[in-house]
Structure formats: C-alpha cells, structure tokens
Amino acid sequence: MKKLAFAALSVVVLAASSSAFAAGKTRAEVYQELIEAQQNGLDYITDASYPDVSPVFAQQVEKHKEALAAQAAAASRVASDSAAAGNVK
C-alpha cells in the first residue's frame, strides 16, 4: 500500500513540476530581453545597486542614452528628408 501511495504522490509531484516549467520563458524570450537590456543601458545594474544603475556606471549610461537619442534624431531626419525628396518629383 505504501508503494502505491508513493507512486501516486510521485506522479502528482511530477505533473505539477512539469506544468510549472511550461509557464516560464523560453530561451529566445530571455535572450531577447537581454539584448533589449543591453541596448537600453540596463546591463550596468549590479546586485548591490538594483534596481538603479550602479554609480560607477552612471556616466557610461548617460553617454549611451545620449548616443541613442542622437541616432534616433538622425534616423528621423533621414526619414523626413527622404519623404520630402519623394514629394518633389
């Protein structure tokens, strides 16, 4: 009887644990989040500074944000110039 109860308990635990893993993120999702964090400068957060950026990296994060803003401005300028050139025909 003990063996039957143990087997039933094992099956229940195994089923519960497999459904818990299925609710998690895939490797691709985690990898994409890591890429986005690096692009946003969030990879400068350390265990000691979480959730803020570590003071050691604050200047680098600020430069990174300025560079991203400059890239976005340049991209919008190029897009508006090409749209204006398309209307001149």
Q: For the chain, how long is the longest CA-to-CA vector?
A: 87
Residue 55 lies in a domain: yes
Q: Domain count for the chain, please give it.
A: 1
Which range marks the domain in which residue 44 is found? Answer: 25-88
Nearest to 44 by CA among 53, 36, 35, 52: 53
Distance of alpha carbon 70 from the chain centroid: 22
Residue 18 lies in a domain: no
pLDDT band at 52 (very low <50, low <70, confident <90, very high): confident
Q: Whole-model pTM? A: 0.43
pLDDT band at 14 (very low <50, low <70, confident <90, very high): low
pLDDT (tens digit, 9 = 90+) per residue, 54-73?
788 788 878 888 888 898 89
The answer to whether 54 touches 45, Cβ cutoff 8 Å, is yes
